[in-house]
Structure 1
Amino acid sequence: MTDVPERMPLTRDFFDRPVVDVAPDLLGRTLLRHTPDGPIELRLTEVEAYDGETDPGSHAYRGRTARNATMFGPPGHAYVYFIYGMWFSLNAVCGPEGMASGVLLRAGEILTGAPLAAGRRPKARSTNELAKGPARLATALDIDRTLDGADLCTGGTAPLSLLHGRPPAPERVRNGPRTGVGGDGADHPWRYWIADDPTVSPYRRHVPRRRATSAT
Structure 2
Amino acid sequence: MSVVRNKLQLVGTAAMYIASKYEEIYPPDVSEFVFITDDTYSKAQVLRMEQIILKILAFDLCTPTAYVFINTYAVLTDIPDKVKFLTLYIAELSLLEADPYLRFHPSLISAAALALARYLCKLPIWSAELEEITTYRLEDLREVFLCLCKTHVAAAALPQQAIQEKYKAEKFRSVSTIEAANIDDEQFVEIVNNYNEKQKQEQQTAAAANGGATASTPASSSKVNLFFKF
For normalisation by structure 1, the TM-score amounts to 0.22
Identify, as 1 or 2, the structure richer in strand.
1
Structure showing greater Rg:
2
For normalisation by structure 2, the TM-score amounts to 0.21
Q: Which has the higher contact order (CA 8 A, sep 6+)?
A: 1
Identify, as 1 or 2, the structure richer in helix.
2
